[in-house]
């Protein structure tokens, strides 16, 4: 006899007692994927032992029982030991863990009211929201197919579901929240979710974008150049004129009052005329000849030259008497 190979599919969650609704839905989907007709064993009673298909049905039912037992918590698994069919196991779990009491309803509503997105993504927040809201929906009595007002009530409940979902979003989604509630007609849950996901993608794009400076022109920090002191030219200060005749440091030999006394008399006369505010022309004595090397320059730039040319000594004194750097500078006697 050939050996029997059997691989029981496993769920990503196991029944713990608090997650019955999610587990029951997942288990049904698992049976649909495992083979056709397996789900019916959760609700159908076994056929008569005299039925020709009874043995084949029993083999399939044993397989469903094994799959069910391997997808619940071990502490719950041992409670199924005395049950003989998959339907008995299913009914036992449903009766024990599908709660519809007021305490469970109150607890679920409270959790849904305090549910906030915080640091969760939209997908994670939606999963937590749907888990709580689905539990509440399962507690609602099934309406009669002949009820005409049930459609209006279902629409009202779906709108409340959208309100609860939008209430838990972070403040960064306030623009899209205002946009959805500002419409003339409230969108469906699927349309609202699509808009929120698009807004989340846009916000991620902004957060991941590199920072761009507001001004295109960047101010470079000041740069300082260190120069070698040996490269800097050291200019010697200009030496003050020194008289070779008397040794004075405020005039040259050509302007020395001791060597040329008549220059002192001319200077005193000019200063007296400037104090009176007149341009009195002084007739000095015949000046002594200047040295040959400075005769021409002195006739042009000194009061002597102004006197020789018939001009006013006082007018010639105005431009040069107050400027120490000029060629015509007379110190106080």
The pLDDT of residue 191 = 93
Stretch among 143-157, 270-284, 290-304 having the lowest mean pLDDT:
290-304
What percentage of the chain reaches a pLDDT higher than 70? 69
Q: How many C-beta neighbours within 10 Å does residue 98 have? A: 14
Q: Pick the closest to residue 162 from 138, 196, 114 (CA basis).
A: 196
For the chain, the first-to-last Cα distance in angstroms comes to 146
Stretch among 6-20, 35-49, 153-167 having the lowest mean pLDDT:
6-20
Each residue of 128-176: pLDDT tens digit?
999 888 878 877 777 777 777 788 888 888 999 999 999 999 999 999 9
Confidence of residue 289 (pLDDT cuts 50, 70, 90): low
Residue 309 predicted with pLDDT over 50: no
Say which residue, 272 or 227, is predicted with more confidence: 272
Q: Which of 66-75, 208-217, 320-329 ranks highest by mean pLDDT? A: 66-75
Q: Which residues of 178-205 are buried (b: 16+ CB within 10 A; e: fewer)?
A: eebeeeeeeeebeebbebbeebbeeeee
Average pLDDT over residues 224-241: 56
Question: Does the reported pTM lie above 0.85?
Answer: no
Confidence of residue 5 (pLDDT cuts 50, 70, 90): very low
Q: How many C-beta neighbours within 10 Å does residue 306 have? A: 22
Each residue of 182-198: pLDDT tens digit?
999 999 999 999 999 99
The pLDDT of residue 22 = 82
């Amino acid at each position: 006899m050939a050996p029997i190979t059997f691989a029981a599919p496993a769920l990503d969650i196991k029944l713990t007692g608090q997650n019955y609704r999610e587990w029951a839905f997942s288990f049904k989907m698992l049976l649909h994927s495992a083979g056709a007709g397996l789900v019916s064993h959760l609700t159908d009673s076994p056929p008569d032992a005299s039925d020709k298909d009874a043995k084949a049905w029993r083999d399939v039912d044993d397989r469903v029982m094994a799959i069910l037992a391997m997808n619940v918590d071990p502490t719950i698994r041992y409670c199924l030991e005395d049950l003989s069919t998959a339907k008995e196991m299913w009914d036992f779990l449903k009766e024990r863990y599908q709660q519809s009491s007021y305490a469970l309803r109150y607890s679920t509503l409270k959790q849904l009211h305090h549910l906030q997105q915080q640091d969760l993504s939209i997908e994670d927040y939606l999963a937590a929201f749907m888990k709580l809201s689905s539990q509440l929906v399962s507690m609602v009595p099934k309406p009669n197919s002949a009820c005409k007002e049930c459609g209006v009530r279902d629409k009202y409940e779906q709108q409340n579901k959208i309100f609860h979902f939008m209430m838990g979003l972070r403040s960064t989604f306030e623009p899209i929240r205002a946009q959805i509630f500002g419409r003339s007609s409230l969108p469906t849950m699927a349309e609202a979710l699509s808009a929120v996901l698009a807004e989340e993608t846009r916000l991620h794009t902004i957060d991941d974008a590199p920072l761009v400076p507001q001004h295109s022109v960047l101010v470079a920090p000041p740069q300082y150049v260190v120069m070698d002191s040996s490269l800097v030219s050291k200019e010697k200060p200009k030496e003050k004129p020194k008289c070779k005749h008397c040794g004075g440091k405020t005039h040259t030999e050509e302007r020395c009052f001791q060597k040329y006394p008549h220059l002192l008399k001319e200077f005193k006369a000019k200063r007296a005329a400037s104090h009176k505010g007149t341009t009195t022309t002084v007739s000095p004595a015949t000046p002594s000849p200047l040295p040959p090397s400075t005769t021409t320059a002195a006739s042009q730039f000194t009061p002597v030259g102004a006197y020789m040319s018939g001009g006013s000594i006082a007018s010639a004194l105005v431009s040069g008497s107050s400027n120490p750097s000029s060629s015509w500078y007379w110190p106080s006697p």
